[in-house]
Structure 1
């Protein structure tokens, strides 16, 4: 085995510049793989964070159409429903209108019934419930803006002016929540619906959507069908789906990111396949006489095949690992800088595993044809050409 590795290393080192450029092309391809994988995860993070026991009910026509708040009580009284509450898109931003974040007017008393993974100190929770202008913010958002409990902050709405015509809403950071495990988005905030409803200029007693927590995830289809049937033929008909389905449809508004990523990666790796395959084939052709000598001194066809495949695998795997590591560092750095825009930006373990498998597959595919030719090499013919 040591002798085989020595031969492989020597063969790759004889044309150092060519090997280096081939390795660099593999590294760049896998950096791109890591970056696009992280971006794809950012757009689909809502699906991964969605609870299996939660349903989302919105206006049948469009997500931006409002519904009567009276729907919440009617949904909550249905069979199979554990709890229900409502949310409305506020269109909030702190200083820059281009940097909007998720701020939702809701019934804060029921928030923990729907999202038990949101945790906050008991004293902060009590103060939040007592403070009409209190704001509940995620830890990641608080860290981003440098907010602490007790701070007075103005939040602007791009949609809802107050009755006096001002778009600036005054809040107190009453509580900061953290998410248990990896199931909570800490880049969002919640406000009292009563304060919002009384102070806004229009849309009183209307809400954006309803989130329902059901008794059993197996009842999702039954309960969602019953909810939509209850409001059928009403002035405001509804469309209910699982939280994961809602997140997926929301992400689809930006286009089929997964398909776009796959198409880009497909083009990149097809090009890389041609480059690497041609490089390996050329390397084998240049060593035709040497391979014939190896066969003459006792190297079997299988051993020659293994040596050629090992060269291809070594370049692909080493380049793939380096590319994934560099890409992972880029994604980690970008995640902190772009947390406000892409809270789910990260290179998952699945991306890493697929990358490693792809590197191995790339090595096997690009080395298969040269290895087959090396195995079928006729010693007498090769020595004669030499």
Structure 2
């Protein structure tokens, strides 16, 4: 603490350079944090996936539909607790940019398989009785300012381009605050009555809940063997594996994050390292005087590292503050296109730690150079 005034005096010696360096840190931290949040959003589906759930899809791919009769055959397999099915609706609300996930669900079994999606009983009962009923996630309803009782027009992009209208009968929440609350559900029976004949009596995929997660491998094998050599062979996997596969459809997010993160790290390292090297070079004679009056080599190294860490801290804090302010707005703007973007406290601490690591690394070489500087050579430059 006794060097605090000296450290800050050196920091503010070149105010424009300080502002530019801190600004570089801030911009880089905003980018780094945003990418980390996106990576976390895609991984969240894997993390929140039920250990006791399996997903059954057509072996060829999700675009191939399966007969609705598969549900009873899957339910008959020992170890299966409940089975439901979903369909992708694929519509937009009012404008092409207003896209969000819309699922055609089996109202009779959906809650048995997905107990974490919470809908008040009175709202659910209304939904079950209303063929044109719909249920929306709390985040989705907040985004469009919907309330129970609203009439919601959805223009489908898959089934003739017509506009379907739904009554918003309920709003669901999730057990965990970071759960997916951006979905829109409609009834399979109403859907089945109004789609082209080729789509009728089909399911996009099946979701089943097991008596025990330990049965996953056995049940998955039994399902695929049951439908082997049929017109619609199946591929059964855990919900976490399915979520990971689905995330990969957007590209190798993890590789992208690591690549850009590495570029950010080395760019900051070069910028801050160059700043500290110039700063040390400008103060060579002053550092020589400090050594001459009794400052140890370690004290000189500490001064340089402290300046570098101070720049990293203030730049990192500014960048993380900007991230806190901007990411919720970005998340609201891309709802439906990306999973919810959540900035957690561990992520903020990691970002600050990343900034301090860069600060320490970039100040180390200039600091060692200053520490090894001979007093006579330093004073000769005065």
For Structure 1 versus Structure 2, the TM-score category normalised by the shorter chain is over 0.9
Tell me the CA shift for residue 343 of structure 1. Answer: 4.3
1:43-62 alignment to 2 at 5 Å?
Answer: 43-62=42-61
Q: Does 1:227 align with 2:223?
A: yes
**Long gaps (5+) in structure 1:** none
Give the Cα–Cα distance (whole angstroms) in 1 for the partners of residues 51 and 70 of structure 2: 22
* Count of residue pairs the alignment pairs up: 381
Greater CA drift, 268-277 or 358-367: 268-277
Contact 1:97 1:158 in 2 (8 A): no
Q: Is 1:292 paired with 2:291?
A: no
1:100-148: per-residue Cα shift (whole Å, max 9, x none)?
Answer: 3222222112111111122222222222222222212222223333333
TM-score by length of 2: 0.92
Range with greater deviation from structure 2 (229-238 or 33-42): 33-42
Superposition pairs for residues 173-184 of structure 1, below 5 Å? Answer: 173-182=168-177, 184=179
The secondary structure found in structure 1 opposite 2:207 is: strand
Q: Determine the structure 2 residue equivalent to 1:156.
A: 155
Please give the alpha-carbon distance, in whole angstroms, between the structure 1 residues aligned to 2:154 and 2:335: 19
Q: Which residue of 2 aligns with 1:143?
A: 142
8 Å contact from structure 1 (residues 108, 190) kept in 2: no
Change (3 A) 1:322 1:262: same
The match for 1:190 is: 185
Whole-Å separation in 1 of the counterparts to 2:61 and 2:328: 35
Describe the superposition over 1:13-34 as per-residue Cα deviations: whole angstroms up to 9, x where unpaired.
Answer: 2222222221111111112222
Deviation at 1:365, TM superposition (A): 0.5
1:359 is displaced (CA, Å) by 0.7
Q: CA RMSD in A?
A: 2.1
Q: Is residue 134–residue 192 contact of structure 1 (8 Å, CA) maintained in 2?
A: yes
Match of 1:25 in 2: 24
SS at match of 1:88: strand
> Which 5+ residue runs of structure 2 have no aligned equivalent?
none
Supply the distance in 1 between the matched residues of 2:81 and 2:237 (Cα, whole angstroms): 16
Contact 1:45–1:344 under 8 Å retained in 2: no
What does 1:37-76 align with in structure 2 at a 5 Å threshold? 37-76=36-75
Structure 1 contact 41–344 (Cα < 8 Å) conserved? no
In structure 2, the residue matched to 1:134 is 133
The Cα shift of 1:277 comes to: 0.7
What is the TM-score of this pair, normalised by structure 1?
A: 0.91
Q: What do the CA deviations read for 1:284-328 (whole angstroms, capped 9, x no partner)?
A: 122222222222222222222111111111101110111111122
Verify the 8 A CA contact 2:155 2:162 in the aligned structure 1. yes
Matched residues in 1 for 2:44 and 2:175: separation?
16
Task: Measure the CA separation in 1 of the matches of 2:378 and 2:145.
Answer: 72
Q: Which residue of 1 aligns with 2:279?
A: 283
Which deviates more from structure 2 when the two are superposed, residues 316-325 or residues 328-337? 328-337
1:43 deviates by 4.1
1:334 corresponds to which residue? 330
Q: How far did 1:381 drift?
A: 2.8
SS at match of 2:89: coil
Q: 1:107 to 1:355 in 2, by over 3 A?
A: same
SS in 2 for 1:108: coil
State the match for 1:369 in structure 2. Answer: 365
CA-CA distance at 1:198 after TM superposition: 2.4
CA distance in 2, matches of 1:254, 1:26: 29
Distance in 2 (CA, whole Å) between partners of 1:354 and 1:217 is: 33
Change (3 A) 1:98 1:287: closer
Pair 1:209 & 2:208 matched: no
Instruction: Determine whether 1:323 maps to 2:329.
Output: no
Using the alignment, how far apart are the partners of 1:316 and 1:94 within structure 2? 44
